[in-house]
A and B are shown apart, each in its own frame.
Chain A
Amino acid sequence: MSSLEKLSRRSFLGESACAALGSTSIMSTLLSLKMANNAVAADLPNDSEDRKTLVCLYFHGGIDSYNVLIPHDTARYADYAATRTNLALPRQSLLPLSQGANGDGQQYAIHPAMGGLQKLFNGGGTLEGPRRLSFISNIGTLIEPMTKSEYKDRIKPRPRGLFSHSDQAEQWQTSLPQGDVNLTGWAGRVADILHDQSNGGSKTSMSISLAGNNIFQVGRDTQQFVMTSRGALTFSKKSGTSHPTALKNLALRSMMEQRYANLMEKAFAELTDQSLDQQEFIQDEFDALQEDFSGLNFPDSGIGRNLLATLKTIALRAKLGLRRQTIFVSRGGWDHHSSLIQPQQNLLAELTPALATFQKGLESCGLADSVITFSASDFARTLRSNGSGSDHAWGGNQFVMGGPVAGGQVLGRYPSLAFDSPDDVGRGGRILPTTSVDALVAELLLWFGLEGRANFEEVLPNLSNFYDVRDAEPSDPSTLPVGFLKPDTY
């Protein structure tokens, strides 16, 4: 059997989808590859210790986060159980959380499949290990703070496209719930500002995606550099033709050699060729790091492989001359209309060990204090069961994790889970968010090094509706938009 015949249809389609071998996508990818051209020669920043990475873990489909973070005291659990009926997890199955001093003082538990995250919240289970994870409750897309009556009476502007997948996914990633003519993501706008300032300009893109193209990292001048769990997207490969990407690379090189006749096109082809060479260099660096992480035993799952690649990419940031880096990772499959309990159990059981291993890897590499991972999703889901699943809703619970995070806290205001409460805008328990996406992003960016009110307004045009960045005191978390950062971490 030839090497070509060994390729499964699934493998080939998967590779093709990742590489996006349409002509437009090729050009887009090549342009992002161009940014890697000077990666080797780039001067490293003077302060080589000042490196920070934001990792966005995006749950496509809308995670039912009211079955992730659950009230555990008798009275509030009773509300939860009464509202969720057959979607309620048994109280005795839940994993209790032990909040630290700055939490909201309430009792919570998490989904039974999330043992690894329980330890990161509680501090190793013994309260002696570091607390690395906190939850932000009832967070969602907002243009400005809004009450239920203001929502119902349409007194204040609502985010566009509420309860719709693509609109809400877009808004989490852009922080522009009112939309924009030329839509860009908040990480892309940050890169527009910080790339030159922090990364010295002409180096590899600070925006890395392990989940294909996204709006999150698209700026005016910035595109994401798309990678796979095996490394950079390849249009060239030195050895053989046994891999689908190698076949595509050969085709691309052949096309360049044959078609680009005039000088301008030749120059472009040469530039492209250089980019391919640089890509190969990045791939070699990526591969060379493999030995360092083999002992971590990342789970052999899609998210496990992607988080291992994320860890490698973070470890590579110094060699790429990056002081600031954003990484986008995603896991789909959370749109649980038809059935919630078992499918969510399966997904969380896959996700949790991968996340816990990722954080363990950061700790063992000495990178924990320079990385924050945060979760995001289209929306939460209705509290009411539609039979055996739940439907699209709004505000939900997300987590932040990392060394700079003051772990062991449930932040924000956890809503009442009773139907028709002041938090419920109707149709089966759709919860009005009380913490905005802007607040989360603003605190992440304070840590990331964004400075100046004008820059914050550029990245987060609605932020002033929620928070004034001039109020932020690094030594006092209570002055921060959400309050998850440890004192003096930025």
Chain B
Amino acid sequence: MKERIVGACAALIILGSFVSRKGSERKTRDWVTQNDNHPIFSEKPSDPVLSDTMLAGYAGEKTSAAEDLEMMARFIDSVFILIKQRDTADYSTNEDLVLFLHGSNSHRLPFLAKDGPALNGKGQLVDRWNSPLIPHPISRKLLELRSAGPDKIPYTGDDLLWPDRE
């Protein structure tokens, strides 16, 4: 647990510098765009995003289902720390949450990679069994996450919850 918290803090520091750098880059790019009509990003590889770090190993062999859910929850919490101007209406469903993490947020910043083990073919956030995660907005500060568990049927006894109610 302690290692995860330290990891999360480190990721936030990295992200903070990333956001800061991104802001200065934007000014430069704006200037370039104004003076040159050629798009300058199309041939570049996509920028690193927070999920590259915080969801590394998600649903892999070295993590458990509970650790996956915790990893996802801490990733989302970290985004929430950075995006103060947000509203539950923007991430109350899986689909909206994905849009929010892909950049439909007040900073217009993507935090979630377009591909990877956290997304299924429909673009939904999924657990290790490829079942969509279920966000449950309790309040502006708390978004409960549910995994349907190994039986892939939500709201049954093997579901996993974050935060755990036990």
A162→B137 CA distance, assembly (Å): 9
Known: A167-B140, A337-B136. A162 touches B154 (CB 8 A): no
Chain B neighbourhood of A164, CB < 8 A? 88, 92, 137-140
Q: Is A165 among interface residues, defined by CB-CB distance under 8 A?
A: yes
CB distance from A342 to the nearest CB of B (A): 13
Chain A neighbourhood of B155, CB < 8 A? 337-339, 387-389
CB distance from B75 to the nearest CB of A (A): 20
Q: Is B105 among interface residues, defined by CB-CB distance under 8 A?
A: no
CB distance from A306 to the nearest CB of B (A): 25
Chain B neighbourhood of A427, CB < 8 A? 92-93, 95-96
Chain A neighbourhood of B137, CB < 8 A? 161, 163-165, 392
Known: A338-B154, A387-B155, A427-B93. A161 touches B138 (CB 8 A): no
Q: Fill in one digit per residue for A389-400: 1 if any B CB lies within 8 Å of its CB, else 0.
A: 101100000000
We find that the number of chain B residues with CB closer than 8 angstroms to chain A is 16
A165→B88 CA distance, assembly (Å): 10
Q: Is B1 among interface residues, defined by CB-CB distance under 8 A?
A: no
A160→B89 CA distance, assembly (Å): 8
Q: Is B158 among interface residues, defined by CB-CB distance under 8 A?
A: no
A162 engages B88 (CB within 8 Å): yes
Q: Is A214 among interface residues, defined by CB-CB distance under 8 A?
A: no
We find that the number of chain A residues with CB closer than 8 angstroms to chain B is 20
Selected from A161, A388, A389, the residue in CB contact (under 8 A) with B139 is A161
A166 engages B139 (CB within 8 Å): yes
CB distance from B40 to the nearest CB of A (A): 30
Q: Is A158 among interface residues, defined by CB-CB distance under 8 A?
A: yes
A167→B134 CA distance, assembly (Å): 19
Q: Is B47 among interface residues, defined by CB-CB distance under 8 A?
A: no
CB distance from B149 to the nearest CB of A (A): 13
Q: Which of B89, B95, B154, B155 has the most CB of A within 10 A?
A: B89
Report the nearest A residue to B93, measured CB to CB: A427
Q: Is B87 among interface residues, defined by CB-CB distance under 8 A?
A: yes
Task: Enumerate the 9 nearest inter-chain pairs by beta-carbon distance, A residue then B residue, closest first.
Answer: A338-B155, A164-B137, A162-B89, A166-B139, A163-B92, A164-B88, A161-B88, A161-B140, A427-B93
Q: List 18 A-B contacts (CB under 8 A).
A: A158-B89, A160-B87, A160-B140, A161-B137, A162-B88, A162-B89, A163-B88, A163-B92, A164-B137, A165-B139, A167-B88, A167-B140, A337-B134, A337-B136, A387-B153, A389-B155, A392-B92, A427-B95
* 10 further A-B pairs in the complex, CB-CB below 8 A; given A162-B89, A166-B138, A337-B136: A163-B137, A164-B88, A164-B138, A165-B139, A167-B139, A338-B154, A387-B155, A391-B93, A427-B92, A427-B96
